[in-house]
A and B are shown apart, each in its own frame.
Chain A
Amino acid sequence: PSLPKFNIDFVVNLLRQENAKDICVIQVPPEIKYCHYFIVVSGSSTRHLHAMAQYMLKMYKHRKEESDPHTRIEGKETDDWLCIDFGSIVVHFMLPETRETYELEKLWTLGSYDDQLAQMTPQLLPEDFILGQTSEEQ
C-alpha cells in the first residue's frame, strides 16, 4: 500500500507550513509490520492540534484518488493527543507536556532498550514458581 502522491515529503512539508514544532520522523524497520514512517509533532495549543489534523486530513482526501478507506482523526474528544493513521504513515499530534509523559520517540527508536520499559518490570520469576505441568495427580 504505497501512496505515490501522498508520501512522507508531502506530509513533512505540510507540517512545516503549519508551524508545527519538533517534527520527529522515525523510519520504522520492516520487521515491525506497523507502518513505514512514524511521525510525532507538537502543537502550541489544542486548537492548533485540531487545526493541523483537520488540514492534514483535507489535503489527504484531496490528493488521494484511489483510496485507502479508513482514515479518520482519532482522539477528537481529547485535548492533548490526536492521531491519524494513513496506512504506511502514522502521525501523532501532541502537546509538549503529553509528549514528555509518553516519550514515543524513545520507544520507537530504542526498541527494547527503552528506559521506561526497563523500569517497568524489575520483578523476576518468584522462587516457588513451577514451570511446566506437574505429575502429582498421576
Chain B
Amino acid sequence: MPRVHNSLISYTGQLTRIQMALLHRRLGFSLTHLSNTVIRRHFRSRVGFALGPQGLLGGSVSHSFLSFASVSGACQAIQKLTRVRVVDNSALGNAPYHRPPKCIHVYNKTGVGKVGDKILLAIKGEKKKALIVGHKMPGPHMTPRFDSNNVVLIEDNGNPLGTRIKTPIPYILRQREGEFSKVLAIARNFV
C-alpha cells in the first residue's frame, strides 16, 4: 500500500496538503473496497462449500467457484437476474452448466423475493419455478440469514423436483401463507 501511494504522488507531482489528504482518503477507500471484495469472495467460498449444485469435480473446481462467487454485496434479497443456489438433490439443479441459475421473474407484487416466495429460474436453458428458502439479506428480527441465496426447484403444480434438502430450512415457512409443507417434508435440518 505505501508503494502505490508513493508512485501516485510522484506521478501527480506537486500537491497541496488538502489535495494529498483527499487523495489518500480516496486511495484508502478504494483499497479497503477491494479488500472487502476479496474477503467476501473467500468468505462465500468458505460457507458455500457443499456446492453440490455446480458440480465440484476435479478439474472444474476453480471454474465453478469463480462462476458462483459474486463480487457484489448483498442487495435487496432476490430479484430479477440474481444468481441463486439450488439446494435440493434434483438432477436439473445439480447438473453442471457454464452459467449459474438466474432468477428471471418474481411472483410478487414487488419484484423482490423473500423467503417463501415463488420465482422463475432459468436453469440449463430451461425455465423452472422455484421457492426461496433463504437469502443473504437480513430479514425480520430473530429470523435466520443465510450466506447464499438458497432456492428449491418446484414444478408448476407445487411438487418439489428433488427428494432431499440438506441445507437448513427456516421455520418461518410454516407461518407464511402458501404451500410449503411439501418442501418441509423433504427437508432434513430446520433453523
A residues sitting closer than 8 Å to B (CB atoms) are 32-34, 38, 70, 74-75, 77-81, 83-85, 90, 92, 101-104, 107, 111-112, 114, 116-117, 119-121, 123, 125-134, 136-138
Contacts and interface: CB of A to CB of B under 8 A. Distances in A.
B46 A121 contact: no
A107 B188 contact: yes
Interface stretch (B34-42, B72-80, B104-112, B133-141): B34-42
Main secondary structure of the interface of B (DSSP, over half): loop
A137 B35 contact: yes
A128 B61 contact: yes
A102 B42 contact: no
Contacts of A120: 52, 89, 164, 166
Interface in B136-191: 155, 157-159, 163-164, 166, 171, 174, 177, 179-182, 184-186, 188, 190
A33 B187 CA distance: 13
A133 B42 contact: yes
Contacts of A70: 177
B34 A83 contact: no
A62 B182 CA distance: 25
A74 B158 CA distance: 9
13 contacts: A38-B185, A77-B157, A78-B155, A78-B157, A83-B181, A101-B163, A111-B188, A114-B164, A119-B89, A123-B51, A126-B56, A129-B45, A133-B39
Given A75-B159, A77-B157, A134 B42 contact: yes
Contact of A90 (B45, B159, B166, B185): B185
Given A74-B179, A123-B51, 9 more contacts: A33-B171, A34-B174, A74-B158, A74-B180, A107-B188, A116-B164, A119-B89, A121-B52, A137-B34
Nearest to B58: A126
A103 B164 CA distance: 10
Contacts of B181: 74, 83-85, 90, 92
B164 A117 contact: yes
Contact of B50 (A33, A119, A121): A121
B172 to A, nearest CB: 12
Contacts of A134: 38-39, 42
Contact of B163 (A83, A102, A123, A133): A102
B62 interface: yes
B164 A107 contact: yes
A57 B188 CA distance: 27
A107 B182 contact: no
Contacts of B35: 137-138
A137 B182 contact: no
A86 to B, nearest CB: 11
